[in-house]
Amino acid sequence: MAARAARHRPPNILYGVEDRPPLVVNVLSGLQHVGLMSVFLMYPALLAQAAGAPPDIGASLVSMTMIALAIGTLLQVIRMGPVGSGYLCQPISSVVYFVPSLLAVKQGGLTLVFGMTAAAGLLEVVLARGLGRLRALFPAEISGLVVLLVGITTGSVGLRTALDDVDLSSTANSHQLGLALATLALMVALNVWGRGPVRMFCMLLGMAGGYVAAWLLGAIGDSEWERVAAAPAIALPALGHLGLSFDATLAIPFAIAAVAASLKAMGNVTTCQKLNDADWVRPDMRSIGRGVAADGLGSLISGLLGGHGLNSSTPVVGLSNATGITSRSVAWPVAAILLGLAFVPRIGLVLSTMPKAVVGAALVFSSTFIIVNGIEIMTSRLLDVRKTLVIGTAIVFGLAVEMNPHLLRILPTAARAALGSSIVVGTLVGLLLNLLLRIGVRRTATIEVEPGAPGTAEALEEFIEAQGAAWGARRDVIERAGFNLAQSIETIASIGVVNGVLEVAASFDEFRLDLRVSYDGPLPELPDKRPTNEEIIASEEGERRLAGFMLRRLADRVSASQKGARSVIVFHFDH
């Protein structure tokens, strides 16, 4: 309900979201974005390897993902109906969907991956409409926990991929281990000591270095090179493997992925809002909801096309920040380049024939950032005893399954497939404990004042500021609440209170601050539409309508009711 403030471009942003950079800048920026996005195409390539699919199918999976990425990029910027945040917040093929896709590919092949990815994308679109409730179920510690578990699983899969069947007594296998370690070391070195583009593309450069080393060591067979060389320069992706299938036992892992993707998209769209507005105060939930819907549609389309699950990317948003180019017009060259490259089968073939040691090293490298990102999200709020218990217990359960899978034998066979991963077990334990330990977490304080008495508005502001500080509430929310109380008391005093006392009850948990204002007297008007300047100037009635309009807009939701002489106005502020 509250309006987004007019954007005021920060000084470090050269081209803001509404700006149109020159064509050359647009295209070069688009190329840079595609370069970064292409790093994550290793996930569909690796998925094809895990499925044991022939290279042309692997190449098709990569191509179809590229087409979906192009569509997903445009969906974010074009703002059609309830879809599209309006920001340059394009997706990548995401690790969030990679982990459940590995489960699906083992259980039912690629068609099951596509079907479940499409279903998860659809769920994300649905979730976009109820983000407020989602936040309550998934506070920062649970969001961070999911990201942490995704990171741990990715690193674990990476190690297993790199060291698959390694027998160190064999020279060939010690080469594989050496290659994995050297690739990882190269990525780390480029990231720590590299600068500018070298640092930005350290993973891509590390993978290229590992690929060349594998070729020099003879780890890539001649037949694989011949296949790449023999592929046509331009061709339609292979379509023979396409199809959709579904399995209820995978519903939980993919639902968790959809929720994790929604939360990540929420965070990235919020970052885009901050990047483009120097006066940013609070998230614009409308734009965020549209962004999450676009994110989910991207995965839905990718699944239907036969591609990998997509999700908005923090590194991609970081690239916009680093270059100072956040213009939504960059999305068009990004989409055009991706679409063009989707019909170059050699790209997919090169990725699909990447040695396991190199892919494994890349997964381990990327997992480190995901793990730390998860820890940062978890610790972004003060960790009290309740949160400590939720996080600690969930991690112990998640890791126990990761380290010792036969612990799941205590479960019925059907449930084992649904719960058989550290992410699912850890997340479910965290969710249940979070709900259980939330009992009694909401705090309330009340104050009574006399409207019209000197210093009443100041007393109310001091009350909410003191409570806000005691509760650890966000500063911007308390400022808005303080204005609402002061303006309410002024307006209510002007329309008359019957017995002279007004009661304010403030109740708070980490997701919501509610102010319940009750008194004996008439309700003020809370119009949706601003009165005209002439109406405001003409009478105090116009001024009161302006007050009601501002009260309504400053809160996230307002409800007003009257029983007999008693009027009650409740202002809800999301936290």
Partner 1 sequence: MEMHEEQVGAVTALAVKGRLDSTTAPLLGARLESAMARPGASVVVDFVNLEYVSSAGFRVLLIASKRADESASRLVLSGLSAKVRHLFDLGGFLDLFSITASREEALKAAS
Binding site for partner 1 (CB under 8 A): 2-3, 5-6, 279, 281, 454, 457-458, 461, 479, 483, 486-487, 490-491, 493-494, 530, 533, 536-537, 542-544, 546-547, 549-550, 553-554
Closest separation between CB of residue 260 and partner 1, Å?
33
The angle at the Cα of 277, spanning 272 to 281, to the nearest 5 degrees, equals 95
Single-letter amino acid code for the residue at 157: V
Nearer to partner 1, 9 or 553 (CB): 553
Nearer to partner 1, 216 or 537 (CB): 537
In the DSSP assignment, the letter for residue 409 is G
Closest separation between CB of residue 408 and partner 1, Å?
52
Nearer to partner 1, 299 or 491 (CB): 491
Measuring CA to CA, which residue among 275, 276, 266, 282 is closest to residue 3? Answer: 282
Residues 6 or more apart whose Cβ sits within 8 Å of residue 101: 43, 47, 113, 116, 117, 308, 309
Nearer to partner 1, 4 or 79 (CB): 4
Q: Beta partners for 558? A: 571
Q: Rounded CA gap, 223 and 225, in Å?
A: 5
Nearer to partner 1, 354 or 492 (CB): 492
**End-to-end alpha carbon distance in the chain:** 14
Q: Rounded CA gap, 245 and 241, in Å?
A: 12
DSSP structure string for 257-301 = HHHHHHHHHHHHHHHHHHHT-TT--S--HHHHHHHHHHHHHHHHH
Nearer to partner 1, 530 or 566 (CB): 530
Closest separation between CB of residue 135 and partner 1, Å?
23
Q: Rounded CA gap, 294 and 124, in Å?
A: 9
Full 3-state SS string of 456-516: HHHHHHHHHHHHHHHHCCCHHHHHHHHHHHHHHHHHHHHHCCCCCCEEEEEEEECCEEEEE
Closest separation between CB of residue 457 and partner 1, Å?
6
Long-range contacts of 162-169 (CB under 8 A, 24+ apart): 162/356, 162/357, 162/359, 162/360, 162/361, 162/363, 162/364, 163/360, 164/356, 164/360
Nearer to partner 1, 461 or 514 (CB): 461
566-574/557-563 β-pairing = antiparallel
Nearer to partner 1, 95 or 546 (CB): 546
Closest separation between CB of residue 476 and partner 1, Å?
9
Closest separation between CB of residue 445 and partner 1, Å?
22
Structure tokens at 234: 């331009």
Nearer to partner 1, 79 or 553 (CB): 553
Residues 6 or more apart whose Cβ sits within 8 Å of residue 222: none
Residues 6 or more apart whose Cβ sits within 8 Å of residue 366: 95, 154, 158, 203
Nearer to partner 1, 22 or 454 (CB): 454
